[in-house]
Amino acid sequence: MEVKLLDSPERQISPEELQAPGFDELPSDSPWRYKVREGDGFVIQIKNLLTKDPLNALHVFILNCAGSGRVERLGSVQIPAGSLHVLWSDRQLGIPFRPTVATERKEIVDRLVVVGTTRSDQDLSFLKVDESFAEVIQRYRNRDRGEDAKEMMTRAPESATPVEKWTAEMVTLRIYK
C-alpha cells in the first residue's frame, strides 16, 4: 500500500480529476513527511500495490491521530488490487481536507494512519477517540487512584483471531499558521 497527500488546487476540478488527479504532492518538511498551511486543501491518495487478484482487494481505514490526542475516523474504502483511490473530506468528491491548528499554537503535527486488510469482515471504527489527550489526562488527575483508574489504564486482552494480509502506513503532517 502506498499513501500520498496531494495538494488540492484552488480551482474548479474536472470530474475526470476527482479519482485520478494529477495534483502535486504536498511539500515535504523534514523530519515530518509533509507540511501544509492551515486551511489549505489536500486529498489522500491510496494505492493498493498487491498483485491483481480479486482476493487482494484491500479494505482500507483512514484515521487521523490529531496533535490534540483525538483519533478521528476520516473514512474507509475498498480498493481493488493494483488500483488507487483518492479520499476527499467527508467522502464528498471535490471537497478537500482543510486542516486547522488549535488557537493557542502556531503549528501542530497530525499522524494519518492508513490500515488495509484483505479481510472484508473487519471494521476499525472502534479506534475513534473523541477526547483529547489533555482531557484524558485531566480526567485521571481528577479521579482517585483507586481500582477504577487502574482498570482504565490496563490494556484490553488481545484477540486470538488469526490475522492475514494486513498492511499499514503512517504519514506525518505538520500543519502551520
Domain layout of the chain by residue ranges? 2-153+164-176
Per cent of the chain over pLDDT 90 is: 53
Which one is the CATH code of 2-153+164-176: 2.60.40, 3.30.70, 3.10.450, 2.70.50? 2.70.50
Of 96-100, 132-136, 164-168, highest mean pLDDT: 96-100
Question: Is the model's pLDDT at 160 over the cut of 70?
Answer: no
How many residues are listed for the chain in this entry?
177
Q: What is the CA radius of gyration of the chain?
A: 18
Q: Which residue has the cell 479521579?
A: 143
Q: Which has the higher per-residue pLDDT, 165 or 44?
A: 44
Would you say 174 and 5 are in contact if contact means Cβ atoms under 8 Å apart? no
Q: How confident is the model at residue 163 (pLDDT cuts 50, 70, 90)?
A: very low
Question: Is the model's pLDDT at 149 over the cut of 70?
Answer: no
Choose among 71, 85, 92: nearest CA to 116: 85
Separation of alpha carbons 88 and 86, rounded Å: 6
